[in-house]
């Protein structure tokens, strides 16, 4: 059986990932204009091992391209409203998500 490296419990019983999502201080969601006046949605505030899995889940749920770099998730297109709902569905607290 696999054990969690953080808490030492079995991976099936481990709640580290859920607690990490709830412990996020503030997630900022905003749009900005990039090359050729194309809009991108930026998600800041997600750190650690959740960054890659959250990026992958958001890209899948929103059907868009994107990447993560330096603690920031960049999604192609204007998805401010939809990102909030998708993050709630992934287990992040609604109070910690701030849309600008």
Residue 23 vs residues 2, 18, 81, 91: alpha-carbon distances, Å = 24, 9, 22, 11
User: How many structural domains comprise the chain?
Assistant: 1
Domain that holds residue 38: 24-99
pLDDT at 20 (0 to 100): 57
Residue 79 lies in a domain: yes
Annotate 53-99 with DSSP letters as a single string.
HHHHHHHHHHT--EEEETTEEEEES--HHHHHHHHHHTT--GGGEEE
Residue 18 lies in a domain: no
Residue 1 lies in a domain: no
pLDDT at 21 (0 to 100): 58
Residue 71 lies in a domain: yes
Residue 38 lies in a domain: yes
pLDDT at 16 (0 to 100): 65
Residue 66 lies in a domain: yes
pLDDT at 74 (0 to 100): 94
Whole-prediction pTM:
0.73
What are the 10-residue block averages of pLDDT along the chain, 100 residues in total?
69 66 74 91 86 91 92 92 89 84
Residue 3 lies in a domain: no
pLDDT at 5 (0 to 100): 65
Residue 12 lies in a domain: no
pLDDT at 95 (0 to 100): 82
Q: Which CATH number fits the domain that encloses residue 29?
A: 3.30.780.10
């Amino acid at each position: 059986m696999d054990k969690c490296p953080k808490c030492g419990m079995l991976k099936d019983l481990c709640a580290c990932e859920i607690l990490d999502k709830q412990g996020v201080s503030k997630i900022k969601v905003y749009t900005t204009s990039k090359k050729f006046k194309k809009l991108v949605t930026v998600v800041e505030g997600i750190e650690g091992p959740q960054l890659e899995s959250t990026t992958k889940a958001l890209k899948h749920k929103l059907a868009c391209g994107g990447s993560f770099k330096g603690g920031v998730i960049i999604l192609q297109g204007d998805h401010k409203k939809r990102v909030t709902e998708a993050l709630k569905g992934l287990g992040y607290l609604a109070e910690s998500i701030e849309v600008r």
